[in-house]
Amino acid sequence: MGKLNKILIVNEIHQFAINELNALDFELVYLPDISNYEIKSKIEDCVGLIVRSKNINKEIIDFSKQLKFIARIGSGMENIDVNYATQKGIKCINSPEGNRDSVGEYVVSVILNLLHNIKMSDKELGHGLWKRKENFGYELNSKIVGIIGYGNMGSAVAEKLKSFGTCVIGYDKYKKNYSSNFITEVALENLFSEADILSLHIPLSKETISMADDKFFKKFKKNIYFINTSRGQVVNTKDLVKNLKSGKIIGAALDVLEYESHDYGKLDNIDQETFDYLRQADNVIITPHIAGQSRESSFKHAKIIVDKIKLINLISK
């Protein structure tokens, strides 16, 4: 019996998904290095498209004749024209559940690093400086952590902070009544007045681009630690540096940067002076968009995407 339906895969995916989809009798066209332009020539007779970082716009969608679903390996969907796809009857799915634990662990780890001056004291010892009193830190349970955005990632952070006895408060514009043993729901104004540490877990949209700017940071009553693992463009990096220099932001951890390319594979259009400050500052941690990347999350993403594809029930009768 021949294959029934064709799925185009345009980014790398865990072997588990390939094995499972093959077992469901799909024909897989696995082209992880394909360009956006080349996708157009391959998508016409496909019922499914699996993508991670490539940009799936209206033009590409219009080249499809049989497309039933677009599956994004990961959480954010800003690289897919979801509205247009939905209008054409194409179901859009993703796997934000897959890396929630990885992101949660990352956020806790960088908070602890900043509170206990780990990066700074390590660097000083590398230069032969033995500073103990100067590097006294703070215990996590003495701080109030504020979370903006209480989806998969925000809730994972709150859950992992519970074991530290930390007070966690949260604000989500689109959710209500989610207070639990892990978090207390508050108004945004209360978060501004109470938080010692802020962790962002929001999608990139017209509403959130450059949301964290100078005006935003100045709304906080206390000087804060700032963590961003969502999307780089939600932060105005120049304004962030301004507030680091003034002391309004005591320390920052940035897994995502405003200068990331659309496929997250490199940095583009860097403001060199601003980036150099972040790179050299003892109280700033920057990493290359790895908070959600782990050996385990790669498998989880694949399994979740396969399970969701099964629910679409595409296999011909």
Domain of residue 304 covers 5-94+296-312
Q: Which of 216, 260, 264 has the alpha carbon at shortest distance from 242?
A: 216
pLDDT recorded at residue 312: 87
- How many distinct structural domains can be found in the chain? 2
Residue 301 and residue 225 share a domain: no
Residue 246 and residue 168 share a domain: yes
pLDDT recorded at residue 220: 98
DSSP 266: S
Residue 317 lies in a domain: no
Residue 103 and residue 84 share a domain: no
Residue 104 lies in a domain: yes
Query: Measuring CA to CA, how many Å separate 83 from each of 70, 87, 180, 291?
Result: 12, 6, 33, 28
C-alpha 63/C-alpha 42 separation (Å) is 9
Helix (H) or strand (E) holding 119: helix 118-126
Residue 62 and residue 166 share a domain: no
Residue 152 lies in a domain: yes
Residue 137 lies in a domain: yes
CATH number of the domain enclosing 276 = 3.40.50.720
Residue entry with tokens 């490539």 = 54
Residue 156 and residue 55 share a domain: no
pLDDT recorded at residue 89: 95
Contacts of 224 (CB under 8 A, 6+ apart): 195, 196, 197, 198, 217, 248, 249, 250
Q: Is the dihedral of CA 185, 187, 188, 192 positive or negative?
A: negative
Residue 302 and residue 277 share a domain: no
Residue 179 and residue 84 share a domain: no
51 beta partners: 72
Residue 130 and residue 73 share a domain: no
pLDDT recorded at residue 316: 41
Residue 306 and residue 245 share a domain: no
Enter the pTM of the model.
0.92
Residue 144 lies in a domain: yes
Residue 106 and residue 28 share a domain: no
Residue 111 and residue 11 share a domain: no
Q: How large is the angle between the packed helices 295-312 and 15-23, nearest 10 degrees? A: 20
Provide the annotated active-site residues: 231, 260, 289
> Using an 8 Å Cβ cutoff, are 248 and 215 in contact?
no
Residue 291 lies in a domain: no
Residue 157 lies in a domain: yes
Beta strands in the chain, from DSSP E residues, in sequence order = 5-9, 26-30, 48-51, 69-72, 91-94, 144-148, 167-171, 184-185, 197-200, 224-228, 249-254, 284-286
pLDDT by residue for the chain (317 residues), tens only, comes to: 345 699 999 999 999 999 999 999 899 999 999 998 899 999 999 999 999 999 999 999 999 999 999 999 998 899 999 999 999 999 999 999 999 999 999 999 999 999 999 999 999 999 999 999 999 999 999 999 999 999 999 999 999 999 999 999 999 999 999 999 999 999 999 999 999 999 999 999 999 999 999 999 999 999 999 999 999 999 999 999 999 999 999 999 999 999 998 777 789 889 999 999 999 999 999 999 999 999 999 999 999 999 999 998 554 43
Residue 168 and residue 82 share a domain: no
